[in-house]
Amino acid sequence: MAVQRATHIFLMSFYALLVILAIFAVPESSADYCGNVFETTANRVLLGHVIDSVLDIDEFECRLRCIGEKGCKSINIRRNGNKKNFCELNSQNRQTMPQDFRVENSSTYHGFVQVSCVDISSDKKRQRKSRLCHPGYHGERCQPDHKGLYSHHPASSCKEIRNAGHFKTDGEYWVDPEKNGNALKVFCDMTTDGGGWLLISSIVIDTAAPNQMTVVSSYRGINTSQMVLTKGAVNELRSHLGFTQIRFHCSRHPGHIFHVATAANSTGEAVVQYFSGQTDIQPNACGSFVRMDNDNSIMSRQCHQWGWENGTYKVGKWGHSRDQDRLYIYPAFVYHGQHWHTSPHGTRYCDDGGSSKTAGDFWKIYVR
């Protein structure tokens, strides 16, 4: 009996220790601050009263959801097989349904205890000064920092950033394709054809170093200047990102532009598979791409004339090679006509077969 009571008192103080204030809706003008008090119990869940569940959000966001959801009285943070957090919003709590309050290792129960409003203006000033926010939140009022802006809060892809709708400008963003905390800064094109494009290869003619180009064999080497990827690197990226389109965009002075994106259908998919080395079968050119608005190339209108296969030219197919270099050695070309070609030795063709190149001419490849 005494032991039981001691345990009980211990547990109560344990709860008290774990009571946490969730910051919520602080009007700038008011000194009053309202917090929602939760009690937390490790290795426990409330079973059978779930009104909503959300995958892969953290504890803080899960609490905010509960606060925002009418009828939510408590939450369970559970783990599914992939070790992702699973947030469950419950219509009851452990006080109203004690019989459903169960042991479940590595899950956590958070019960809504009360809402209290206090004057904490001095604390607020202190917090503002030190800028301490929960991870994933920033600024004076600890606003959520949208995914993609910081290395500690990356998105998985440019497409995800585009879909979230917060950022609509082209530029550098942070992505973590493997979702393992190893974020990478990449360039996202958020404006062309709906945006969401991740730049995977980029050559820009620079008169100071006209032949400069690095062949990168892991997607981790992606950056915004003078690099191309091997098929292995594209494959690696595709295994993490599952992109479904590739876009080729080259521009040559004055005003010659080849600009096509693979079609979102099986013919376009065959092209994605070829360039990511999932197959060596050279894909058909015709019906595999759509011309972007500014494309004015000769090549994009001659799909039947493309390629080379088994010693024959003009077979109507993408590519030239079955090797690692398929993305940059004649990925698309018409024999004795126009080519896309960026050789490590410095030869560069953009819808031509040998004109001189000027500073600013570029070859860029994106995936989405």
| Residues at the interface with ligand NAG (CB under 6 A) | 105, 214, 221, 223, 225, 227, 263, 265-267, 287, 290, 309-310, 312, 315
Is the Cβ of residue 18 or residue 290 nearer to ligand NAG in the bound state? 290
The two three-digit tokens of residue 161, written as one number: 């950033």
Give the 3-state secondary structure percentages of the chain, helix then strand then coil, rounded to 5.
Answer: 25, 35, 40
Question: For 76-96, b where at least 16 C-beta lie within 10 A, e where not — what string?
Answer: bbbeeeeeebbbbbbbbbbee
Token representation of residue 224 = 């915004």
H-assigned helices in 133-216: 158-164
Closest contact distance (angstroms) between CB of 367 and ligand NAG is 18
| Contact criterion met (CB below 8 Å) for 326 and 197 | no
Q: Smallest gap, in angstroms, from Cβ of residue 203 to ligand NAG?
A: 12
Q: What DSSP string runs through 81-106?
A: TTS-EEEEEESS-TTT-GGGEEEEEE
Query: Which of 221, 337 has the CB closer to ligand NAG?
Result: 221
Of 122 and 266, which has the nearer Cβ to ligand NAG? Answer: 266
The whole-angstrom separation of Cα 212 and Cα 227 is 9
What's the CA gap between 137 and 60, in Å, rounded? 10
- The sign of the CA dihedral 335, 336, 339, 341 is positive
CB 214 within 8 A of CB 203: no
Q: How far is the CB of 285 from ligand NAG (least distance, A)?
A: 11
Nearest approach, Cβ of 226 to ligand NAG (angstroms)? 7
> Which residue is nearest to ligand NAG, using beta carbons?
263
Instruction: Report the residue number, 89 or 199, with the smaller CB distance to ligand NAG.
Output: 199
Q: d(Cα 106, Cα 118) in Å, to the nearest integer?
A: 33
Find where tokens 């400008």 sit: 169
The candidate with the shortest Cα–Cα distance to 316, out of 284, 273, 350, is 284
Complex with ligand NAG: residue 72 or 77, whichever CB lies closer: 77
The dihedral built from the CA positions of residue 282, 283, 284 and 286, taken in this order, carries a sign that is: negative
Closest separation in Å from C-beta 84 to ligand NAG:
19
Q: Report, in Å, the least distance between residue 39 CB and ligand NAG.
A: 21
List CB contacts of 160: < 8 A, sequence separation 6 or more. 147, 148, 175
Nearer to ligand NAG (CB atom), residue 133 or residue 290: 290
Nearer to ligand NAG by C-beta: 87 or 228? 228
Smallest gap from residue 104 Cβ to ligand NAG (A): 7
Contact call for residues 71 and 49 (beta carbons, < 8 A)? no
Closer to ligand NAG by CB, 166 or 314: give it: 314
Question: Which residue, 62 or 233, is less far from ligand NAG as judged by CB?
Answer: 233
Question: What is the number of other CB atoms lying within 10 angstroms of the CB of residue 256?
Answer: 17
Whole-number minimum distance, CB 160 to ligand NAG, in Å? Answer: 23
Residue 186 token pair: 């990449």
Query: Minimum Å distance from CB 152 to ligand NAG?
Result: 20
